[in-house]
Amino acid sequence: MPAPTLLDREPAPGAAATSPPTAPATPAEIHADEKFCEQLEDRALLSGPNRRLRDLQLLYGVAKDFILGFRALHFVGPCITVFGSARFAEDHPYYKLARDMGAAIAKMGFTVLTGGGPGIMEAANRGAKDAGGRSVGCNIRLPFEQSHNPYLDRWVTMEHFFVRKTLLIKYSYGFIIMPGGFGTMDEMFEALTLIQTKKLKNFPIVIMGAEFWPEMRHFMEHMLKGATISPEDLDLIKWTDSVEEAVAHLQEKAVKQFGLRRYRVPQSNPLLGEKTLEGAH
C-alpha cells in the first residue's frame, strides 16, 4: 500500500486541531515575497522551488560566480585568509591587530586574502600593502552597499555567499580568525569542518582576540566533554593575540608542512585575458 501523501495526512473533519488555522497569503504578500526574492540571485536560489527554466538560470549564475572567482584568484599565489567583522573602525584595537597581522603574513611571502570589505578585512589588506605584499579580496553583493576596500591589488564580487566562502578557502594555506559576527563564525566552522572531515589537510587556524572569544572557547570545550568533537579537533586551533606567535604557527604548520608551493601557481595566458598578480611568481 503506498504511503499517504501530505494532503492525505490532514486531520479528518471534526478532529481536534493541533494548531490554529493559518490565513492564506494575500496577493499583496505574495507579490512582496516575489519582489524580495528577485532582488538578489541568492534570495531566488534559496527561496524553494522555482520554474525549471528559472532554476537553470540560477545554476548558470552559480557557475558564473565560480568562473569569475577562478579567473580572478587563480594566479595570485599562495594565500592566508583573514576572516573578521566589517564593523570595526580604523581606531579600534582589533583593526590595528588585523593590520599588523596582514603585514606579517605578507612578509612571510603569502598573499593576504579577505572578504574584500571594510573593517577587519580592510585592515588585513591594508597591512599587506604596508609591507609591500600582495592583497586580494573576494567581495559579496549585499542588499545594502558594501564596496571593496581601497587596499586591494585584485578583487572579485560574488552573488552567492557559499561560492565566496568556497573561494576564500580554496586558495588558502591557513586561516586567521579575528573577532566577528555570524559570518565570521560561519567561515571559521566551515574551515574547521572541512579539516575535521578530511576534505582539507590540517591547514593552520589561528583565532585572535582573547577578550572576544572566551565563551566560544568554553563552548568548544563543552562540545568536547559532550563527545560531539574529539580532542584532536581542538588541536587544529591556535589561540593567541600575539602576531609573533601566529607567524610561528603559520611557519610551522603552513610553510614547513606544505611549503608555499609556488610551483602550483599556474602560468597565466594573456591571450585569454589572464594576468599574474605582481610578485606572485
**Which three cell numbers mark 239?**
589561540
* DSSP character at residue 273: T
Write out pLDDT tens, residues 201-213. Answer: 888 999 999 899 9
Return the higher-pLDDT residue of 85 and 9: 85
Q: Report in angstroms the alpha-carbon separations of 191 from 2, 177, 187, 210, 279.
A: 43, 10, 6, 20, 27
Cα–Cα distance list, 258 to 67, 174, 261 (Å)? 26, 10, 7
Query: What does the pLDDT read at residue 276?
Result: 76
Task: Look at the alpha carbons of 57, 62, 68, 71 in this order and tell me if their dihedral is positive or negative.
Answer: negative
pLDDT at 261 over 90: no
Q: What is the pTM of this model?
A: 0.82
> What are the residue ranges spanned by the domains of the chain?
65-263
What is the model's pLDDT at position 51?
Answer: 87
Q: How confident is the model over 182-230, as pLDDT tens digits? A: 999 999 999 999 988 989 888 899 999 989 999 999 999 999 999 999 9
- pLDDT for the residue 281: 47
Per-residue pLDDT tens over the stretch 104-114: 999 999 999 99
Q: How confident is the model at residue 64 (pLDDT cuts 50, 70, 90)?
A: very high
Residue carrying C-alpha cell 552597499? 145
State the chain's maximal CA–CA distance in angstroms: 76
Which grid coordinates are listed for 11?
486531520
Q: Does domain 65-263 have CATH number 3.30.750.24?
A: no
